[in-house]
Each structure stands twice: as C-alpha cells, then as structure tokens.
Structure 1
Amino acid sequence: MVVLAGCTDGGGDSGGGDGPGKRKGPGADEKRPATVDGIPTSAGTHKQKLDVGTFGHREYLLHVPPKMANGRWRDGRPAKPMPLVVALHGGLATMDKMRTLSGFDELADDKGFLVAYPDGFMTTWNAGDCCGPAKIGKIDDVGFLTRLIDRLTGAGLADAGRVYVTGFSNGAGMAYRMACEKPGKVAAIGVVEGALVTECDPDRPVAAMIFHGTADRNVPFDGGGRRDVNDDRPYPPVSYAVDVWRDAGNLPRLRPKVISVGAIECDSTGRGARGAEVTLCRVRGGTHEWPSRASTMLWDFFAEHSRA
C-alpha cells in the first residue's frame, strides 16, 4: 500500500497525470503537456497498461524524473529524450517489489533517466528454459518488452539509442533473452544473479554488466541447481554467459579487478571495436540477492554505453 500510494493508475493504453504542466525549466520553449500519447509526464511513478495484441493487457510502472517533467519541451515532446532503464523483477515477485528492491527511482531523479518496471506473467518471465507459468504458457515476453520500449521511444520520451534492460534472478534471465533476440533495441544489459538459459546468437554486440554472488545456491556461480520445477537440468555457469557476449563483441579475455568495492570485484574486457564490453562483478560470499551498490554501478555502466 505504501508503494502504490505514489502511483497513478491509467485506464486502457493511457495513464493518469497531474493535469496540465505549469512549470518550466530554464530555457523551456513551452508548457509541459499532461500526457504524451496517453503517457503521463508529471514527475513521479505512474501505473500504466499496455495493449500487447492479445486478450487482456500487460502492466508496468513508469517513473518520470523531475528533470524531464521540469525540463525543456518543444512541440509537445521533451527537447531531449532521456535514457530508459527497464527493470525486471525476479520470479514470484512483482513490479512493485522490483521498484523497492532496486531503488532506481531515487537514482533516476538524481541522474535524469526514465525507469519502467514491467509486471511479469503470474510473477514470472519466459526467459527460455525458465521460469514457471510464463515459460509453460509460452508467453511472448520479448514481444511485450519490445512494445513497451517502442511505446516510450515512439512518444519521444525515451532515447532509442540509450535503452537498458536489467533484472534480478528470473528477470535477469529475461534481460539476457531480450538482448539475445532484440540486440538492436538494447544498448546494454545488467544481470543480477541470473543465468543465460535461452538460445543466443545476436547479430550485433550488446554491452553487459553481470553481478553474481559466489555463494548463490539458487543459481550457482559455477553452474548447477535446477532450471525449473519441470526441468532438472542444471543452470550453466556464469562464465558461459560471459563467453557468449565476449564472442558477440569479439572481445578479449577479462582483465582482473578493474573495479573493487567492498565485497564486489569486477573484471572487464574493456571496450571492443564496436563499443561493447563485458564486465563481470563477483560478490564474494554473496547469496541470491541484489547487492546494495548494484544499482549505482549499473547506471554508471549504462551511462557509458549507447547504441550510437
């Protein structure tokens, strides 16, 4: 209830807003519209519905930072579209829980980027070989996320060249799948305690930052465990995903300890010829949880990469 108190609930394919914008930032050319293509533009977090071309709809939370709401507007659009972070919850969780877990709202307000928190199907994502109802029902989550990205970029709110997908656990696996199947939509991904469990042969490189605890027993660092309730095959090791994205970008081996913060030690390939890189952050003794510094480190990584 506390989380939802700050949200507005839109009907159909539109969302609520605060009414006509009255505030203008320095040098603003016109007033901010209350909505753009039905999407609220006031600062805060808005609950939205999205038509995905099937029975029913999908939902997501959209966080709009004050830097957009109070910034410059021209022709009913932001003068400069913002980066977009799509944050995917873990299995048996929700968009509200991901919002609380990641803390991206405060970071977005400080740095200036949009955050979308989509809701999975019956609390799960179809990441390939995992997980649960979304996998069993063959839900087209790649299609859903593609529509979400296209909606926000098409409205001129988000910069199509600076779209980033991150996730935790099952959501992290979904971030992998999105980059595997739609690399042209994603500039970089951030994976936290997830495994690559889908066929992956992208036609262009995608930058990837991977966090994984060395003591994770749900998705073991070196592989193992059980992929799903109806699939007893083990998860592949983290090194498998690293190699997939290294090969996609024709990148060298990881250089050790490029970043060291507390229990987090990050190795990195450095940038390749096409701008992508892979950074692996081991969390010494870390279990299946979102590290406290992960969100800030992910944004710093995202900010350095664009599809351009």
Structure 2
Amino acid sequence: MNIHALGANAKGQQSLTGFDKTASDNKFIVVYPEGFSKAKLGTPLPAPPGVPLYSFNAGGCCSDKPVDDIGFMRKLIEYMEDNYSIDSERIYAMGMSNGGFMTNRVACEMSDVIAAAAPVAGVLFESYSLETPHPLGWTKADDFVCAPENRIPILHTHNRMDNIVPFAGSSGVFEDDVSLFDDINLIDWWGAQTLKGMGFPSVRESIEKWRKLNHVKDSGKVVTSNSNTVCTLYSEPVEGKDDDFAPVELCVIHSEGAKGTVGHCWPGQAEQGAFGRCLNEDVDNSYIWQFFTKHKRNGRKAKGKAGFGGEGEELKE
C-alpha cells in the first residue's frame, strides 16, 4: 500500500513516487489508497477545478473528522486477498507526509496484517497534545495509542531540510540547526508560526519510540552513507527479547531537493522531471523495496499474538 499526502490523491501518489515501475520490475502489486476526508489545508486557495484533494486520519495528523481509515485499510487488504493472488505474509505499507503519518498508524494498529512499514516525511503522531487550539482544527480526529501486538520492521526516510514536517518537530522550527526559512518573508513567517502550532513530534522522538516498541537497543550502525544520505540501522535486541524484536532503520537526507519541494520530498532521483523528488543518492524506491523483501510475517495469523521472528529470507521470483 502506497499512501498519499495531505491535499493529494491516489493518482498523485502514483505519479509522484513512480512505484508502478518498481512493482513491474520486481513483480509485486502496488495499490494506492485514497483518503475520504476532504483536505483542510488552512489556505484560502481553492483546489484546481475537478481535482479532489483528500487526507487520512492518522491521529494527530491530518483530519478534522474521526474517519475509520484503519478499517478502510483492512477492507482494502481483504479485497486484494479475495480478488488477486497475493502472499498474505508479505503485505507492506509506505506513504508520504500525511501518508507517512498514516503508515506509522498502520504499523501500530495492523501489526497482525502487515510485515513491514516505510514512512516517508511523516512521524508517529498519536495525538495533538498542545494546550493551544490546533491551527487547522485537526483535533476532532480520534487519538490512538501505539501498542502493536507484534513487532513491525520500520524504515523511516526524512529530509533534514524538510520545512513542512520539520526533522526537529514543531518545537524546533526556529531552534533547529538547519535554517528552514532563509530570507524569511511574511508568508514564510506565517507558515513557521503555523508549524509551531501543529505539535509535530521530532523524527528522533518517533524513532526512539519505535526502538522501544520493537525491543531494539539505541546503538545503531551506519548501513548506507554518501554525500547527502545516511542510513542508520537499529537491529540489536534488548536483553530477553531475542525472539520478539524487529529492526528500525532511519535514513536522513540532507538535500534541498527539486525546485518547489521545500525539502518535503520523495527519496531518489527523478526519472521524468524533478518535481517532488529529494534528488538524493542511493536511497530510493529500490531501497524501500529491498527493505521490504527482507521481512515477512513469519507465519503469524491475522490478529495473532506471536512475536515477529526477526528478518525473513529474500524474496525470490
């Protein structure tokens, strides 16, 4: 499942990520869920005529209605199982921005179904906790507590230069060591103030929580490194959890990305044009897919309680 961003739709995610080609090259099925709630962006600018823009209810982000998007995701998987020849032990979730937030929620609440998750530019955000009113009114969405029955391998990719979902979270908009608002103007200032009121956790906080949930130590090893991307893998189980753990990998990109992305982008080079891509090295669709191929549910039945057994074997055609 490849889940779209706030103010986007299924076709937009299909075009942005280019995952159809990855699926064709590697012989798997990719589906693009579409949100139900109309996106509330807090801007007076209307959507282009005839272009539906939606959001997913990912807890603290990004819906103003308590839509049962987890129920929808479960029904979508049931439909795929009933109508296509798929391997029920190799079902994966990924998504961009709001879709990244939603991917985290799927990992939290569908650990009986999915085998691994890869959020991009979206953190684990269970509830809006600031005392001030939410600037976009998203507090009507239902909160949740991330307590997965099983450990879910996580690959989180985030651009250090992201000024839509800041790497340092909402609290770090003006304090972060990365200048997100160079030559700031009135619109940027308004946007920064809005971001501070969103209550987004930092990437580090999100990863720390997943390490605890997945029973792995906070000592990681660098598995990918180049001029603008570093990936750190946390895969050593804590004491007593050798049979009940799953890895967490964080890929940090440091790139301005393609023009217009404000660092909020999908990893990898652009094959056709440069819109929406981070223009970083090594970490791309193939990297995400290779991460997925290392993991399966290892025989866990739906709604079962068996722990995740570590890494599965590589997929073979």
Give the TM-score range, shorter chain: 0.5 to 0.7
Cα distance, 1:106 vs structure 2: 0.8
Q: 1:262 to 1:164 in 2, by over 3 A?
A: farther
Q: 1:146 to 1:156 in 2, by over 3 A?
A: same
Matches of 2:295 and 2:220, distance apart in 1:
19
Tell me which of the two structures has the higher relative contact order, counting C-alpha pairs closer than 8 angstroms and 6 or more residues apart: 2
Cα distance, 1:155 vs structure 2: 3.6
Matches of 1:201 and 1:240, distance apart in 2:
16
Matches of 2:74 and 2:108, distance apart in 1:
13
Q: 1:299 to 1:230 in 2, by over 3 A?
A: closer
1:304 corresponds to 2:250: no
In the alignment, structure 2 segments of 5+ residues that lack a partner are 39-53, 127-144, 174-190, 257-262, 269-282, 299-317
Match of 1:126 among 26, 49, 57: 57
Match of 1:238 among 198, 203, 211: 203
The residue number in structure 2 matching 1:179 is: 107
Matches of 2:166 and 2:32, distance apart in 1:
26
Write out the 4+ residue segments of structure 1 that deviate beyond 3 Å after TM superposition. Answer: 225-231, 271-275
Cα distance, 1:90 vs structure 2: 0.5
Match of 1:281 among 251, 254, 272: 251
The residue number in structure 1 matching 2:285 is: 295
Structure 1 residues 212-221 or 271-280, which shifts more?
A: 271-280
Counterpart code for 1:268: L
Match of 1:116 among 20, 28, 31: 31
Does the aligned pair in 2 maintain the 1:130–1:228 contact within 8 Å?
no
1:154 corresponds to 2:82: yes
Does the aligned pair in 2 maintain the 1:163–1:187 contact within 8 Å?
yes
Aligned residue for 2:208, secondary structure, equals helix
The residue number in structure 1 matching 2:222 is: 257
TM-score, with normalisation over the residues of structure 2?
0.65
Does the aligned pair in 2 maintain the 1:205–1:245 contact within 8 Å?
no
Structure 1 residues 242-251 or 171-180, which shifts more?
A: 242-251
The residue number in structure 1 matching 2:188 is: none
Cα distance, 1:294 vs structure 2: 2.5
Cα distance, 1:113 vs structure 2: 0.6
The residue number in structure 2 matching 1:218 is: 164
Cα distance, 1:196 vs structure 2: 1.3
The residue number in structure 1 matching 2:17 is: 102
Cα distance, 1:284 vs structure 2: 1.3
Match of 2:124 among 186, 196, 205: 196
Structure that is richer in strand per residue: 1
Does the aligned pair in 2 maintain the 1:129–1:228 contact within 8 Å?
no
TM-score, with normalisation over the residues of structure 1?
0.67
The residue number in structure 2 matching 1:90 is: 5
Matches of 2:35 and 2:168, distance apart in 1:
27
Alignment length (residue pairs):
220
User: What are the Cα deviations for residues 61-120 of structure 1, in whole angstroms up to 9, with x where unaligned?
Assistant: xxxxxxxxxxxxxxxxxxxxxxxxx00010111111111111111111111110000111
Matches of 1:182 and 1:108, distance apart in 2:
23
Cα distance, 1:230 vs structure 2: 11
Q: 1:229 to 1:253 in 2, by over 3 A?
A: same
The residue number in structure 1 matching 2:136 is: none
Counterpart code for 2:255: G
Matches of 2:255 and 2:209, distance apart in 1:
25
Does the aligned pair in 1 maintain the 2:216–2:245 contact within 8 Å?
no
What fraction of aligned residue pairs are identical, expressed as a percent?
31
The residue number in structure 2 matching 1:42 is: none
Matches of 2:264 and 2:223, distance apart in 1:
23
Matches of 2:200 and 2:219, distance apart in 1:
22
1:266 corresponds to 2:194: no
